[in-house]
Structure 1
Amino acid sequence: MKKLINDPKTLVAEMLEGAVRQAPGQVLLAGESVVLRRDATPPNIGRVAVLSGGGSGHEPAHAGYVGEGMLTAAVAGDVFTSPSSDAVLAGLRAVTGEAGALLIVKNYTGDRLNFGLAAEILRGEGKPVEIVVVADDVALRDTVPKTRRRGIAGTVLVHKIAGAAAERGGDLAEVARLASAAAADLGSMGLALEPCIVPAAGKAGFALGESEIELGLGIHGEPGVRRASMQPAAALVEILLSAIADDLALKRGERCVLLVNGLGGTPPMELDVVAREALAQAEARGLVVERAWTGTLLSALDMRGCSLSLLRVDDARLALLDAPTGAPAWPGGGHLNRDMHLAAAETPAREEQNAPVPAEMEAMRRVSLAVMSAMEAAEAELTDLDARAGDGDLGASLARGAEAVRALPSGAWADPPTALRSMADALRRAIGGSSGPFYATGLMRAARELAIGTSDARAVAAAMKAACDAIAELGGAQEGDRTMLDALCPAERALSDSVAAGESLPTAFARAEEAARNGAAASAQMSPRLGRASYLGERALGIPDAGAVAVSIWLRAIAEALRS
């Protein structure tokens, strides 16, 4: 287990100090793991105090939601452990005035007991206190009564509604009523791709196979209600969204808000994919999604996975969600982009796009498609090489480029320059990173070297040299820098020498392929001076450059196609 901590025993205190140090609107209650609004003490501010909390490990919950318009205080326990009743009581005493306090409690036994006992003690001291329990986990609908479901990420929306109601001056009965009604109209469900590791335990709470996931889990590293196979995001979202919408009995035309929550180890890229699917599927159900928030709002340490929450809304509830807040972790906004696409300028239509391929161009087209097949077949090999000394995207990039070239219309093969320019355009659009510009530039320069209808060996050799020079100019590299040029430049020289000696193109490309293969192999012993591999320095030694290997692969495809 690797964790950026000092000692599990001091983890919570140090985490809270680090967070509050960055939040000028917050203070720590001396001697307690309690975070308070700076302007909420002493407790004579004349408004209802809204408190929540629970075990740590759910960051940014709960301290991240302490601020104007949201929580007045948050009480933190040890990792995945309820805070003590004394800690809750200390927080209540620090912020509760005559207007009273509302405790928002997630439906776990420890939280209910400790928050409930603290509330009872404060009531005995003459202060009004109400409790709202959030039990939004719809995964347990067939397992336990509704009152015994867990409270999970949707609780954050209840925090926002109650905090906004208190901020505008609502009395305790109104704030509690609004929070309770929101909790009743709320449903959530989560899934895990990988478990989390509790610092004190040093190991995961459960194990998953390579293609397994857990559905319907809580937020404390425990297993879910059932295990399932990994599926595309759309299918997983369908499982979660259907369960939530069905449990809430949401009907076509009803208004709601959506929360897509990361569980701690899920990158924003994946959460945005989930949000896209959830919004599309909710709208396909006829639901009117008024707001949506995506991010890690209530985590389970470093668990990889997510949860979805839906909350039924009307204008009044939406106004509370839209109300301003100073809580540092509230994502804000939530407004949806209803018109997100701008039409691209249309590419002028070419009359020759569907023209038949001239007979003299069939050979070039056949050879080019053979190269594309070779790139597709080498995807895994190139991905592995690139991942060992780069960013791992080369195999997939070249496979995408191959697919784009295959999709070219017949008119793209009108003559050699047109074919090279068309392939350059296809690769430029399909391949990101550095490979797309390099290949597109090389092909465009080669196209300029070829006169229409010219296909003699000397013209081909000249085009190859022009492409090699263009790539070197664009990237600023040269042989020996451990790039694709370490295969391409020797290949170009071998091709030119063979053609100058009067040898045929099949023979010339066979010699070029051999030179490229030797150059790619030699790159394994070169210290990288350009590209991402240069960041590894000597650690890249022993691994051939993936770009150089790719050159040797497509040259081999050309040589074999010409021989056949």
Structure 2
Amino acid sequence: MKKLVNDPRNVVREMLEGLVALNPGLALLEAEDVVVRAGLPAPADRPVAVISGGGAGHEPAHAGYVGTGMLAGAVAGDVFTSPSVDAVLAGIRAAAGPRGALLVVKNYTGDRLNFGLAAALATAEGLPTKVVVVADDAALRDTVDPERRRGIAGTVLVHKVAGAAAEAGGDLDTVLAEAEAAAAAVVSMGVALGACTVPAAGTPGFTLGESEMELGLGIHGEQGVRRAPIEPADAIVATILDTLVMDAGLAAGDQVALLVNGLGGTPPMELSIVARAALAGLAARGIAVPRGWAGNFMTALEMPGCSISLMRLDAGRLARLDAPALAPAWPGGGMLAPAARVAAPPEPEAAPATAPGPLAPELRRLALAVAAALEAEEASLTALDSHAGDGDLGLSMARGAAAIRALPEAAFATPATALTAMAQAVRRAIAGSSGPFYATALLAAARALPEAPDHADWARAFRDAVAAIGELGGARPGDRTMLDALHPAAEIFAASPGPLTEAWQAAVAAAADGVSATVTMRPRLGRAAYLGDRALGQPDAGASAVLVWMRAITAQVHTNGPSA
């Protein structure tokens, strides 16, 4: 797998150097991979130092939580490897004073051993140090004893509670007690849609099929408790919540903080969908969520997936979560309120219904044929658009088709009302550029049409529609856009003497030639323009979509005869 690294042996140090360089509130020890707060007071004046750490690869954990109100220091080992005793001891010496240090340790053997021995050595040196172990992985509830569970993303909330307690001036025993209570109050569970790749290994830790997911995994690239068929996000979240709520003994009336954590390869869009489902699922159970966050808090390199953590709240723990903190990776806030919904402004009152004209049945038949053709070609249009665009054209055209199909029969009373109704429908249904272009074209054409148009009226409407698209988007023929199909078609249609069906066939042929010409055109507008010559070799997707609906009209005219 490709990675933006230099030497895999140096990734941790170089990562920490970059982090510290970007954050003036942090400092990096010269001889160890340890980050501490910059400008700490003299040892005698320091509060209890809350220190955490573990293997790298979990960024922004752990160094991202070093700052006022959270950690005093963080110790990093190699990727997914516990730091050494000496590194942890150096962190304690650099960050702690006579009030001592609390080490927040995730429940892995290497971390417990190295942090535990460092705590004993520091205490012997006169820096009293204690350890709190976080074992929040509820997915292991049926696999191991509670004290042997892994520590995962819920650890971040323990950092926040312990850091706030230390910042408030609590002594070591007080900070320890609050951290232990917070660790006992948090449960987490993860799901992965794929594996991650350790830089030194160069290959993924495991392989998942396209239709599989791993439930109940840790944060070190390992497999989960079980493999299952992938499900929609809401179903996955429901499964996780069932486990968390049961394991924590939560019931209606309880309050929790929610942490939706990305594992490194999951975009914010998907994390927000997960958060939405989690909030809805907790609300359905009568569990209040006064605080919640979603983002990357404790990752597993680039693993696609997420975890959900719930921390049971009381007044004291809520106050600790709300206390100010100035760590680079802590987002702050998190205060939730009932979802705000604002009513959309009302649409203008519809014009009085027009009595159906003689063309109404045929107009509707043609519109439905266009819709069917666009739906049938969704996949091919998506493939074409993916070559030089963002791949959404097929879906956009299918959405527009569905909107046209949903129009009532009354919308097709006259040519003008039909085109106006279709313009409003596609404007609402199609996002991106296609919706505005088609809506603008249809409205321009509608303005040019009387109730019983002849060939000249249709030709003028077609030309007006094409001109409106060019004016709106700034494109001209030769720019490799939909106009390369529309413009020659409109010109040929206007120049053909008739009859109407033959003129339309000539227009379709001109559009087809225009689409073929786009194969060798260098794009000048739209996303394809960013690709330059790399866009060559395939016809323009927007022009191809024009040909789809024009041919659909041709097929209907051939089957049922001319319309004017």
Name the TM tier (shorter chain): over 0.9
SS at match of 2:61: coil
1:173 aligned partner: 173
Task: After TM superposition, give the deviation of residue 2 of structure 1 in Å.
Answer: 1.0
Q: Cα–Cα, structure 1 residues 358 and 543, in superposed 2: closer, same or farther, change >3 Å? A: same
CA drift of 1:409 comes to 2.9
In the other structure, the counterpart of 2:103 is 103
Cα deviation, 1:420-465, whole Å, max 9, x if unaligned, reads 11111111111111111110110000000012x2232322221111
Letter in 2 for 1:213: M
What is the distance in 2 between the residues matched to 1:271 and 1:280?
A: 14
The residue number in structure 1 matching 2:242 is 242
2:502 maps to which residue? 507
- 519, 531, 556: which one pairs with 1:524? 519
Match of 2:186 in 1: 186
For the Cα contact (< 8 Å) 1:187–1:248, is it kept in 2? yes
Secondary structure at the aligned position of 1:419 is classed as helix
- The answer to whether residue 431 in structure 2 is matched with residue 432 in structure 1 is yes
Could you tell me which amino acid in structure 2 is paired with residue 51 of structure 1? I
Q: CA deviation at 1:279?
A: 1.0
Q: Provide structure 2 residue ranges, at least 5 long, that are not aligned to the other structure.
A: 560-564
AA of the residue aligned to 2:323: A
Shift of 1:339: 4.1
Corresponding residue number in structure 2 for 1:87? 87
CA contact (8 A) 1:216 1:224 kept: yes
Matches within 5 A, 1:5-16: 5-16=5-16
* Change over 3 Å in CA distance of 1:218–1:252 after alignment to 2: same
Q: For 1:355-393, what per-residue CA distance to the aligned partner results, in whole angstroms no more than 9, with x for missing partners?
A: 886553011011011111111111111111111111111
Separation (CA, whole Å) in 2 of partners of 1:471 and 1:454: 25
Which has the higher mean CA deviation after the structures are superposed, 337-346 or 534-543? 337-346
- Aligned partner of 2:471 in structure 1 is 473
CA apart distance, 1:407: 1.9
Question: How do 1:157-556 and structure 2 match up within 5 A?
Answer: 157-350=157-350, 360-451=359-450, 453-498=451-496, 501-504=497-500, 506-556=501-551
Whole-Å separation in 1 of the counterparts to 2:41 and 2:387: 56
Distance in structure 2 (CA, Å) of the matches to 1:51 and 1:18: 20
- Structure 1: distance between partners of 2:82 and 2:276: 35
Q: Give the aligned partner of residue 142 of structure 2.
A: 142
Alpha-carbon distance in 2 for matches of 1:44, 1:382: 70
Q: Deviations over 1:267-316 (max 9, x none)?
A: 11111111111111111111100111011011100111111111110221
Q: Distance in 2 between matches of 1:491 and 1:367?
A: 18
Find the aligned partners of 1:476 and 1:94 in 2 and give their Cα distance.
62
Query: Helix, strand or coil for the counterpart of 2:223?
Result: coil
Q: Write the distance in 1 (CA, Å) between the matches of 2:386 and 2:248.
A: 45
Could you list the per-position Cα deviations for residues 509-556 of structure 1 after superposition, in whole angstroms to 9, with x for gaps in the alignment?
222222212211110011111111111111111111000000000000
Matched letter for residue 533 of structure 2: E
Query: Hey, what does 2:562 align to over in structure 1?
Result: none
SS at match of 2:202: coil
Quote the offset at 1:348 in angstroms: 4.2
**Aligned counterparts of 1:241 and 1:146: Cα–Cα separation in 2:** 18
Counterpart residue type for residue 292 of structure 1: G
Contact 2:368/2:405 (8 A) holds in 1:
yes
Structure 1 SS opposite 2:404: helix
Structure 1, gaps ≥5 residues long: none
CA distance in 1, matches of 2:95, 2:487: 74
Distance across 2 between alignment mates of 1:80 and 1:356? 73
Shift of residue 347, structure 1, vs aligned partner: 2.0
Contact 1:193/1:212 (<8 A) preserved:
yes
Q: Secondary structure at the match of 1:309?
A: strand
Query: Which one is further off, 228-237 or 287-296?
Result: 228-237
Displacement of 1:27 after TM fit? 0.7
SS in 2 for 1:344: coil
* 2:158 partner SS: helix
Tell me which amino acid in the other structure corresponds to 1:525. T
Question: Contact (CA 8 Å) 2:364, 2:409: kept in 1 or not?
Answer: no
Residues in 2 aligned to 1:117 and 1:357: alpha-carbon distance in whole angstroms: 88
Cα offsets for 1:183-232 (capped at 9, x unmatched): 11111111111111110000000001111111111100011111111211
* Structure 1 residue 352: Cα displacement: 5.3
- Following the alignment from structure 1 to structure 2, what is the Cα–Cα distance between the partners of residues 370 and 422? 16
- Quick check: 2:40–2:46 contact (8 Å CA) kept in 1? no
In 1, Cα distance between the equivalents of 2:553 and 2:359? 17
User: Whole-Å Cα distance in 2 between the matches of residues 338 and 47 of structure 1?
Assistant: 38
Report the Cα offset of residue 411 of structure 1: 2.9
The amino acid across from 2:476 in the alignment is Q
SS of alignment partner, residue 359 of structure 2:
helix
Task: Please tell me the residue identity of whatever aligns with 1:432.
Answer: A
State the 1:171 CA deviation: 1.0
TM superposition outliers: structure 1 runs of 4+ over 6 Å: none
Q: What CA deviation, in whole Å up to 9, does each residue of 1:480-514 have, x standing for no partner?
A: 1100011111211222233xx1313x332222222
Determine helix, strand or coil for the equivalent of 2:502.
helix
Shift of 1:153: 0.6
- TM-score normalised per structure 1: 0.97
- Residues 54-65 of structure 1 correspond to what in structure 2 (within 5 A)? 54-65=54-65
User: In structure 1, what residue type is equivalent to 2:404?
Assistant: V
Distance in structure 2 (CA, Å) of the matches to 1:433 and 1:34: 47
Per-residue CA deviation, residues 42-92 of structure 1 (Å, 9 max, x unaligned), is 422241110000000000000000000000100000000000011101111
| Alpha-carbon separation, structure 1, partners of 2:107 and 2:504 | 71
Residues 21-41 of structure 1 deviation map (CA, whole Å, 9 limit, x = unaligned): 111111111201000012335
Q: Match of 1:532, as an amino acid?
A: R
Q: In the alignment, residue 457 of structure 1 is paired with which amino acid?
A: H
Q: For residues 382 and 224 of structure 2, what CA distance do their matches in structure 1 show?
A: 34
Q: Output the CA distance in 2 between the equivalents of 1:335 and 1:141.
A: 30
Rounded Cα–Cα distance in structure 2 between residues aligned with 1:214 and 1:176: 34
Which residue type is aligned with residue 523 of structure 2?
P
Range with bigger deviation, 57-66 or 404-413: 404-413
Q: TM-score, normalised by structure 2?
A: 0.97
Contact residue 42 and residue 94 of structure 1 kept, 8 A: no
C-alpha distance in 1 between matches for 2:140 and 2:477: 63
The residue identity in structure 1 corresponding to 2:152 is I
* Count of matched residue positions in the alignment of Structure 1 and Structure 2: 559
How far is the alpha carbon of 1:414 from its aligned partner? 2.5
- Residue 194 of structure 1 aligns to a residue whose secondary structure is coil
